[in-house]
Structure formats: C-alpha cells, structure tokens
Amino acid sequence: MTVSTAEFGFLVRGQILAGALALTMLVLVARLVRRSALRDAYALLWSVIGVGTLIVSVSPAALWDRIARAVGIDSGGTTLLLVIGMFGVLMLIMQISIALTRLERLTTAAIIGQSVEQAIGGASEQQWDDGNKA
Amino acid sequence: MQNLNSAHSNPSTADRQRPLIRTLAIVPAHNESATVEQVVRSLRPLPTTDIVVVDDGSTDATAAIARKAGAIVVSFPGNLGVGAAVRAGLVLAHRMGYECAFQFDADGQHDADSIPRLLEPLSVGDADLVIGSRFLAGNYQVSRSRSLAMRMLRVVVRSVTGLRLSDPSSGFRAFSRRAIDELVDRYPTDYMDSVETIVLAHRIGLRVIEVPATMFEREHGASSASSFQAAWHTLRAVFSAYITHRRGPIGPVIDGGDS
C-alpha cells in the first residue's frame, strides 16, 4: 500500500491536468451564461458538472480506488470515474434527444398552423370555387 | 371559372359520388414540378372538391406551378416530411369544415379515376379511413425486396391491429369527417406516416377499410434508393407502427413535457 514518489508525482500531475480542464469548462460556462447562450437550466447543469469535475480532479486518487473496490470494480478509481462519466454523458445526450423531439414537434405544429393560415388568407375565390360554393 | 366543373366533368365520376359532399384533395409535394400540374388538372373535374397542394419545402417551382394550375397552396419554409404535409391538409380541412378529405400523390402514381371508389365508403358512412390498395386491383408489379418489405409491413399491421390490409404503406387514402377531427392534432409527423396512421386510427376507434385502386409506376424521381436505405426505411416503419401501438395514452402529439 505504499505509494512511491514517482507514482505520487504522476498522480499529482494528472490531477493538475484534470483540474485545468475542469477550470477551462467553468470559464467557458461562465462566458456562455454571460452571453446568454445557455438557458438557465442548462447553465446550472453545466456549472454543476464543471464544479463536480473540479472537485473530483483535486480529490485524492486513493479515495476513488477505495470506493471502486467497495462497489466491486477491481481495476481502480479511474475505471469507476470513467463509468460514471460515461453514464452521465449518455444521460445528457438522452436529455438532449428528449428536448429535441419536443422542440421538433412544437416547431412542426407551429409551422403547419402558420402555413395553413397563410394559405387560407392568400387563396383566391377561384381556388375555393368547388367545395365552398356547394 | 365556376362552370369549369360541369364543362369538364367526367360523367362516371360525377354520378358515382352520390351525395355531393365538400371534399378536400390533399396533395403533398416535394420537388414535383414535373408532374404536379398534370396531377392538379386531373383532380379539377371532381365535383365539390377543392385541391390543396402542400409544398413541403420544394426548391423548384412546384408551388408556383400548382397555384397556376388552380390549387390552393400551403408552403412550408423547409422540408418537414410527408406526415407534416398531410397534417397540414387535415388542418385546412378541419379549419374550413370539409366533410371529407383524401390524400393524393403529386408524382402521378395515383389515378384520379379511382377516387370515387375511394370516397364511396365515406359517403355511405361505412368507414373513417379508406386505403386505396394497388394490390387488390390486380397485378401491380414490385421488386422482390419491395415485396418482402411490404409483407413485413402487412404482418406488423395485422399483428398489432388485426386488420388484414394488402397495402398498408399506400399513400392513396381518404379520411372521413370524424377521421379529420380525430387526427388533426395527432397525425404522425415523425416519420413513416402511412403505416403509423393506420395503427393510430385503429387505436382511436376509427374504422379502417381497404378498396382497390389503380396505381401507375413512378415516372419521375427515384422511389427507392439503395437496398440498404430501403431496409432501414422498412425497419423504421415497422418500429414506428409497433411503438404507435404500444405507446401510452394517445393525446395530442405535443405533450406539454414540463407541465
């Protein structure tokens, strides 16, 4: 259970990289929010993800190794974090699919309604002659 | 212009549609400038029938040609798919109080002479959704892969609704007033509207029947692209039909997701 200095140094450097990436994401989210490019709910979501990533990146690797073993993953904390991350990403994509479906249906219905109203307004007497005069 | 009907009226057409009911011909069209004029002209002699061409984001002159030929034109700002185009037709029919509507392809594969036969069950009140089948009419030839795909669609429609339909993917179909009212807010716009609609109509309690209809081979445009695409198309249609059957309560398609 002893950790050699070399290994320790590697872990720290890895954490610096992860921390830097998390910080980059937070900065990006902050900028997007300021430009109001993200809806409040999404801004909050991404902020939480950014902060979460930052916390994970500075937390001791040994802790995650222990949690991984506790839940039955023998290959270490990295694997556990990968699994969690992957699951989170899939959930996010699913959420986007749901939002997109809803958006598409709303848009389609709105376009149909508007196009039909436009056609009714623009149609000449002659085009209505058959049915409407019956 | 009002006398155009009586002057050009096809006697057999006029006689067979007994009570004169206000009918809307719904013609979904996407880049059909080569055929749409002929199609609209073939529909004009029908009594008490208005024609709406739903231009589904065409990049050619489809809309202008259709308008010139005498149709009402609904124009989409982009390509929304045939399901959305048919729904737009139903919305117009609902909004303007038509008693029935029928769908007719803009590519010239449907036959205007088959329309009285298609509408007949509606005028006597026997059905709400009438499908024109190219196979009931006789020897319509399809390729082997097409035939296999159609058999799959037939099987899925039969297994989920119990309806034995020979041509469930046919786009030649008529809607009763009740079908218009029921489908106007939930006509499927996701994908393969034709098969899904049968399953949906059956679930809502609409009476679905099939009548023979003549169809021509397409002259313009490629109907089926690669066989891979055709297979994918069929798989999606089967899946759509199945989930339409399994889906929960059938309300309007827009379900206030966060309400």
> Between chains, do A118 and B96 touch, taking CB under 8 Å as contact?
no
Residue carrying the six token digits 């891979």: B228
**Residue-by-residue DSSP string for A70-84:** HTT-TT-HHHHHHHH
Which regions of chain A are under pLDDT 70? 1-11, 124-134
- Residue B67: per-residue pLDDT: 93
Residue B51 forms beta bridges with which residues? B25
Is A94 part of the contact surface with chain B (CB cutoff 8 Å)?
A: no
Report how far residue A6's alpha carbon sits from residue B27's, in angstroms, rounded to the nearest whole number: 74
Contact A131 B76 (CB under 8 A): no
* DSSP symbols for A24-55: HHHHHHHHHHHTT-S-HHHHHHHHHHHHHHHH
> Please, what sign has the CA dihedral across residues B74, B75, B81, B82?
positive
d(CA A86, CA B250): 34
Q: What is the pLDDT of residue B10?
A: 45
CA-based nearest residue to B1, from B50, B56, B58: B50
Q: Are B131 and B167 in contact (CB under 8 A)?
A: yes
Q: Please report where in the chains the tokens 């997701």 appear, as a residue.
A: B257
* Spatial CB neighbours of A133, under 8 Å, sequence gap ≥ 6: B2
3-state secondary structure of B9: coil
In degrees and rounded to multiples of 5, residue B132 shows phi and psi of: -85, 120
Instruction: Tell me which residue in A98, A106, A128 faces B50 most closely, judged by beta carbons.
Output: A128
Contact assessment for residue A53 and residue A85, using Cβ atoms and an 8 Å cutoff: no
Nearest Cβ partner of A113 from B51, B75, B91?
B91
In the DSSP assignment, the letter for residue B174 is E
Q: Are B183 and B174 in contact (CB under 8 A)?
A: no
Q: Where are the alpha helices (DSSP H) in chain B?
A: 4-8, 11-16, 36-43, 62-68, 82-95, 115-123, 144-161, 177-183, 193-204, 227-246
CB < 8 Å to A133, chain B: 2
pLDDT for position B200: 92
Considering only CB atoms, which chain B residues are within 8 Å of A130? 5, 46-50
Q: Do the Cβ atoms of B58 and B30 come closer than 8 Å? A: yes
Q: Cα separation of B104 and B43, whole Å?
A: 9
Residue A125 to residues A129, B53, B66, Cα–Cα distance (Å) = 6, 16, 16
Predicted structure pTM score? 0.79
Contact by Cβ (8 Å): B224, B146:
yes
Residue B198: how many CB atoms within 10 A of its CB?
27
B56 touches chain A (CB under 8 A): no
Q: How far apart are CA A44 and CA A29, in angstroms?
A: 9
C-alpha distance from A40 to closest chain B C-alpha (Å): 15
Residue B133, strand partner residues: B212
Tokens of B59: 């990049």
Token pair for residue B204? 């809502």
Tens-binned pLDDT, residue by residue, of chain B (259 aa): 333 343 344 444 444 445 568 999 999 999 999 999 999 999 999 989 999 999 999 999 999 999 999 999 999 999 999 999 999 999 999 999 999 999 999 999 999 999 999 999 998 888 999 999 988 877 677 777 778 888 888 998 999 899 999 999 899 999 999 999 999 998 988 766 788 899 999 999 999 999 999 888 765 445 555 677 777 878 888 888 887 777 765 555 544 333 3
What confidence score (pLDDT) does residue B137 get? 74
Q: Are B182 and B203 in contact (CB under 8 A)?
A: no
